[in-house]
Amino acid sequence: MLKATLQPALASPLYILGAGAIGSLWATYGYQAGANIRLVLRNQVTANNYHQHGGTHLISAGQTLISLLAADCPQSVTAPIHKLLITTKTQHTLSALNAIKQHIDEHAILLLLQNGLGIAEQIQREFPHANVLQGSTTEGCYRQSDFEYVHAGHGHTFIGASANSDKHEQAARAQLAESLSFPPLKVDICDNIDAVLWRKLAVNCVVNPLTAIHRCRNGELLTRPEILAQMHEIIDEILRVSAALGRSHWLDDLHEHVANVATTTAANRSSMLQDISAGRDTEIDAINGYLCKLADQHNIKVPLNKQLLAEIKRLSSAGQV
Ligand code: KPL
């Protein structure tokens, strides 16, 4: 399918779909940098609440940055959207996009910045001419209350397109990365975003469900021998699936890497722990669910990942009654 170049969409306003932790980081720093940004919120009630609250409040380096961005709900979007940063939870992405589908230019840049895998392919099918890009970030940000977030740790963000996409777009992608690098956020392009996302998926398959089930912070996983043993077995299952897919070289030192992430984010409450504690649905289907689906397709047994998937679904439905 021939896609239009990224170039024309680059100059247009940035729309951000989803005002959660990651969306609010880009919204705040973009607003502070004077960029032309509009938020797309879930519905009119959320948009009214956003305005009543006085916009996004981000605690950053001991200061509260208040940013009152232009905020639309799907019904109030009027201009065509050429450049969209998607930061919704994976499980809400398609419905959120469908609600604004008629406003999305067919050649738009759709950049996904979220946990989990499997959504980009579905979006590309729904929007065949769009430039679907994916990103991965290590910025640490958590929600304090409605529209109030804390930027807890600085990180780095990489964006790129799947392996089979057009290499000639590299310069335009670099321009896009630069246009999203609102200080202090740093965005760079990556030649192999699939590898970065697969490595991130592997970490999320281990840290997210275990912290949610044991109700502990990331660092605590490493201090409990019974959890550590489970972690190693889960990682071995991931390595077997990766080998079947020819991706072992993307996961060098996975045991050490997971331990390093748990150490550097020791004080974090993982996003899944936060979702389970708040009675929200989780991203488990796009994390362990995605891995289990691939394992089934390749006849690989992943009993522990399946157990985690089932347990998180049980906890999630128990929390929502
Ligand atoms: O991505 C994360 C998450 O919480 O979703 C990790 C890396 C586990 C950090 O908390």
Question: Helices 254-264 and 225-244, interaxial angle, to 10°?
Answer: 130
**What is the structure's pLDDT at 224?**
95
φ/ψ (deg, to 5) at 66: -105, 125
Closest ligand 1 atom to the C-alpha of 208? 8
Q: How far is the centre of ligand 1, averaged over its atoms, from the C-alpha of 316 (Å)?
A: 18
Per-residue confidence (pLDDT) for residue 241, from 0 to 100: 98
Helix (H), strand (E) counts: the chain: 12, 12
Nearest residue (by CA) to ligand 1, atom 10, is 270
Distance CA 64, CA 134 (A): 29
Whether residue 265 has its Cβ less than 6 Å from ligand 1 = yes
* Atom of ligand 1 at shortest range from CA of 270: 4
Residue 211 Cβ inside 6 Å of ligand 1? The answer reads no
Q: Cβ(207) to ligand 1 under 6 A? A: yes
From the list 229, 254, 258, the residue with the least C-alpha distance to 241 is 254
Strands 63-67, 104-113: pairing is unpaired
What is the structure's pLDDT at 167?
65
Nearest CA to ligand 1 atom 4: 270
282: Cβ below 6 Å to ligand 1? Answer: no
Residue of the CA atom closest to atom 2 of ligand 1: 270
pLDDT tens digits along 210-227: 999 999 999 999 999 999
- The H or E element that residue 100 is part of is none
Bridge partners (DSSP) of residue 72 are: 40
CATH 1.10.1040.10 domain position(s) in the chain: 195-319
Model pLDDT, residue 15: 98
Is residue 256 classed as helix, strand or coil in its secondary structure?
Answer: helix
218, 264, 288: residue to mutate for ligand 1 pocket, most atoms within 8 A of CB: 218
Locate 196 and state its tokens.
């970065």
Instruction: Note whether 298 and 241 are within 8 A (CB).
Output: yes
Distance 197 CA to ligand 1 centre (A): 13
Cα(276)–Cα(317) distance, integer angstroms: 9
- pLDDT tens column, 128-178: 999 999 999 999 898 999 999 999 889 999 999 887 666 667 888 999 999
Please list, in sequence order, all residues whose beta carbon lies within 8 angstroms of the beta carbon of residue 56, skipping any fewer than 6 positions away. Answer: 19, 24, 27, 28, 31, 50, 66, 67, 68, 69, 147, 149
| 195-319 CATH pick, 1.10.1040.10, 3.40.50.12280, 3.40.50.300, 3.30.70.1020 | 1.10.1040.10
pLDDT of residue 73: 94
Transcribe 43-77 into DSSP letters: SHHHHHHHHHHTSEEEEETTEEEEE--EEE-GGG-
Q: What is the pLDDT of residue 172?
A: 86
Q: Whose CA is nearest to atom 1 of ligand 1?
A: 204
Residue ranges matching CATH 3.40.50.720 in the chain = 4-190
User: Looking at residue 321, what is its pLDDT?
Assistant: 52
Confidence (pTM): 0.94
As for the ipTM of the complex, it is: 0.98
Q: Name which residue sits closest to atom 9 of ligand 1, judged by CA.
A: 270
CATH 3.30.70.20 fits 4-190, yes or no: no
Helix, strand or coil for residue 153?
A: strand
204 ligand 1 Cβ < 6 A: yes
Instruction: Evaluate: CB of 137 within 6 angstroms of ligand 1.
Output: no
Torsions phi, psi of 202, nearest 5?
-60, -45
Task: Confirm or reject: Cβ of 205 under 6 Å from ligand 1.
Answer: no
Q: Whole-angstrom Cα distance, residue 84 to residue 9?
A: 10
- Give the pLDDT means over successive 10-residue stretches in the chain (321 positions): 71 93 97 97 95 96 96 93 96 96 96 96 94 95 93 94 73 93 97 96 98 97 96 98 97 96 92 94 97 98 98 90 52
Residue 172 in contact with residue 7, Cβ under 8 Å?
A: yes
As annotated, the active-site residues are: 200
